[in-house]
Amino acid sequence: MSQPLRQARQDRITRVSRRLAATMTLLLALTPAGIALYAIGFSETMLASHPWLAGLRLPVRPLALEESALATAALLVAAAPSLWGLWELRALFRGFAAGMVFSPSSARRLRRFALSLMVSGLSEPVGSVLLSLAVLRHNPPDGPHGALSISTADLFVVLLGVVLLVIAWVMGEAAALADENAGFV
């Protein structure tokens, strides 16, 4: 491959990676704020119809500030693996922008992102229980007291994480071989 073509490809990788890193930074900042706005600002209308709670057929009612704060905490706990994944993707794309495409650090970041996906797939059941406990704290004794949500989408996310984990492992091995071969030249 000619040097100008290789440079054009690297420039394109740099441009796209910078944009993606900026997008991840924006999502890292907006996600917690959006969750808090959702749980506190729209607690009366939105939380009763949240997919994790929809099966309970809760009446639409205003939540006390304490319940809204607990709902926010529950949703943030459930979102934590995704936020970790965004953090790792941001670092991965920053590395790509700096020219570290097939490097041990890129493989490590991709592996961590894969692990965050796997944990994220398991966070919905935990989040659904925590959210239902937060919202149903003052429910009558004969009403529902908790909800557990598990979906095939969660299982797919875990499977995708496993696939990316193997790809990261192969990428790390390729980077190690490249380093080893560079030592012989």
Between the alpha carbon of residue 35 and those of residues 19, 69, 130, the distances in Å are 24, 11, 15
Q: What are phi and psi for residue 94, nearest 5 degrees?
A: -65, -40
Long-range CB contacts (< 8 A, 24+ apart) of 16-23?
Answer: 17/93, 17/94, 17/96, 17/97, 18/93, 18/97, 20/89, 20/93, 21/90, 21/93, 21/94, 21/97
- Looking at per-residue pLDDT, the higher value among 154 and 138 belongs to 154
pLDDT-derived band at 122 (thresholds 50, 70, 90) equals: confident
Residue 44, pLDDT score: 65
145-170 residue pLDDT tens: 566 677 788 889 999 999 999 999 99
68-93 residue pLDDT tens: 888 899 999 999 999 999 999 999 99
**pLDDT above 60: residue 15:** yes
Structure tokens at 147: 């909800």
**pLDDT above 90: residue 111:** yes
User: What three-state secondary structure class fits 8?
Assistant: helix
Residue 101, pLDDT score: 85
- Looking at per-residue pLDDT, the higher value among 173 and 67 belongs to 173
Across all residues in the chain, what is the average pLDDT?
85
Rounded Cα distance, 148 and 131, in Å:
10
Residue 56, pLDDT score: 65
pLDDT-derived band at 174 (thresholds 50, 70, 90) equals: confident
**pLDDT above 70: residue 60:** no
pLDDT-derived band at 65 (thresholds 50, 70, 90) equals: confident
Cβ(86)–Cβ(24) below 8 Å: yes
Rounded Cα distance, 42 and 32, in Å:
15
Domain parsing of the chain, residue ranges: 3-184
